[in-house]
Amino acid sequence: MPPVPGDTRRESSSARQEIVDLIPALRAFARTFYRNVTDADDLVQETLTKGLASIHQFEPGTSMKSWLFTIMRNTFYTKIKVAAREAPGAAECASARPAADPTQEWSARGREIAEAIQRLPTQQREVLMLIGVLGTSYEDAAEICGCAIGTIKSRLNRARLKLLEELGETSARSSVERAESHPVDSFGKHSVFG
């Protein structure tokens, strides 16, 4: 039986609301691609624009979050390809940088962890943020990244090991014990070390 026009409108409205509800997760995922908040927000805006324009292509019953994360990931990689063809130096313009860095209230350990995460290879950082920070399932992460679940698990394991190495930790347990003994130093509500 074909859908009633009113039902389609209601489904579209529901999907749009779901997109709006996912904005915080999209912003967090965008920060895995860009350190600069403005660039990350631009990526979110472009993702939202593409998602809303293509809402009719979304298949009800599938994960809206995975669908939008896939759009974001593809948009980012397209931007990288385009940027490679642009004139060098445009992004390094002095007027594009803030006059003073904003103050950070993170602990020194929080900064160390954030910097270590940024130094990870893009694919490892992406999987670590999807699973360790955003709580995405292995299946959804595999769909978003366009690879097998085994590849996701491998990238996550390598990312965790690399972080431990970068932070001078001997094991994940010592890292967790250190965070528990210094609650101010913990890096958020999810443990990226498993």
Q: Are 77 and 111 contained in the same domain?
A: no
Q: Are 89 and 8 contained in the same domain?
A: yes
Kindly list the distances between the CA atom of residue 142 and the CA atoms of 126, 145, 156, 193, in Å, as whole numbers in the listed order: 11, 5, 11, 19
Q: Are 85 and 46 contained in the same domain?
A: yes
Q: Are 90 and 108 contained in the same domain?
A: no
Q: Are 130 and 160 contained in the same domain?
A: yes
Q: Are 128 and 169 contained in the same domain?
A: yes
Q: Are 88 and 177 contained in the same domain?
A: no
Q: Where is the domain boundary, 74, 96, 118?
A: 96
Please state the domain count of the chain.
2
Per-residue pLDDT, 12: 66
Which stretches of the chain score pLDDT less than 50? 1-6, 100, 102-103, 105-106, 182-191
Residue 118: burial class (beta carbons within 10 Å; 0-12, 13-18, 19+): exposed
Per-residue pLDDT, 138: 92
Dihedral angle computed from the Cα positions of residues 161, 165, 171 and 176, in that order, rounded to the nearest 10 degrees: -90
pLDDT tens-digit profile of 88-108? 555 555 555 555 454 454 467
**Considering the entire predicted model, what is its pTM?**
0.54
Q: Where is the domain boundary, 52, 76, 96?
A: 96
Q: Are 39 and 76 contained in the same domain?
A: yes
Kindly list the distances between the CA atom of residue 16 and the CA atoms of 13, 21, 78, 134, in Å, as whole numbers in the listed order: 5, 9, 24, 21
In a domain, 194, yes or no: no
CATH number of residue 89's parent domain: 1.10.1740.10
Domain that holds residue 123: 104-189
